Amino acid sequence: MDWHRRDRTWIGGHRGANALAPENTFAGFEVARSAGVDYVETDVRAAVDGTLVLVHDDRLERTTDGSGAVDGRRPDELARLDAGSWFGARFAGERIPTLEGFLGWIEGVPPLGAILEAKGPGTGGPLARRIATSSAADRLAICGFSAAELRSARAALPGIVTVLLLDTDDLQAGPAIELTRAAQADGAALLGRALTPRRLAELRAAGLLVGAGTRNRPSAVRRALALAVDLLDSDRPPVAVRVRAEVDA
């Protein structure tokens, strides 16, 4: 997995396979891997003691049978929660993965990569430091909306690839290229309508990576591929992988 390879668009499973399995669970990661993605994308938050776990929201209600803030619960409490039944009965018993568990899994499935989103304050540095000790480190990258977290990750692990997430609201603060450089990031994922040919060209001219955010409909995937973006996530990995194969044929 070479994040800087420019001869194709890398396709990732967003939160695993968000539309096909409970998000940020091993069930979802396996669906994405089986579909033939190049990487999986997942979210990282800290429990009350600083243990890093894979959860998107800052609260537990939407994706588990628990309640309250993720950063207010101990790891053993989080480990007992059902993170699958909300999505479907056949996923009952899926658990919230820890970062440790996830790294153990991905180390065993080369060449699959992963982009880990630093969610919440204080996650970028610890996440990068743990990645530094992983045998899969060269296949891992960190993304996030927070420039401060990405700078912290870069300070902890200078060689880590980082990607700044930008939507149209974020771009009110300045041009995409300036925001990306201020975050000391290797590139930016331009989400939704933030992805324009002009912004893409500016980032490319500066030697930066360009992501297209999450694209699910075949037509949306084709448009992103036509722009030759570097990274593209999908909630429906089989669709994105199939469309890329059709375009490449």
Kindly state the tokens that stand for 209: 């990576």
Model pLDDT, residue 7: 86
pLDDT recorded at residue 201: 94
φ/ψ of 162, rounded to 5, equals -125, 145
Query: What is d(CA 28, CA 17) in angstroms, rounded to the nearest whole number?
Result: 5
In this structure, are residues 241 and 249 in contact, taking their beta carbons and an 8 Å threshold?
A: no
Question: Which is the catalytic residue, given 1, 30, 48, 56?
Answer: 56
What pLDDT score was predicted for residue 158? 97
Q: What is the pLDDT of residue 1?
A: 77
What pLDDT is attached to residue 20?
Answer: 98
The pLDDT value given to residue 98:
98
Phi-psi region at 184: left, alpha or beta (left = phi > 0; alpha = psi -120 to 50): left
- CA angle (61, 31, 42) in 5-degree steps: 50
115 C-beta neighbours (distance < 10 Å), count = 24
The identity of residue 119, as a single letter, is K
> Which among 10, 11, 12, 14 is annotated as catalytic?
14
Q: What is the pLDDT of residue 231?
A: 97
- Which CATH homologous superfamily contains domain 10-58+99-248? Phosphatidylinositol (PI) phosphodiesterase (3.20.20.190)
Residue-by-residue DSSP string for 142-211: EEES-HHHHHHHHHH-TT-EEEEEE-TTGGGGS-HHHHHHHTT-SEEEE-GGG--HHHHHHHHHTT-EEE
**Residue numbers in the chain where pLDDT is lower than 50:** none
4 tagged catalytic: no
For residue 193, the model assigns a pLDDT of 92
Cis peptide before 111 (omega within 30 of 0): yes
Quick one: pLDDT at residue 93?
96
> What's the pLDDT tens digit per position in 169-220?
999 999 999 999 999 999 999 999 999 999 999 999 999 999 999 999 999 9
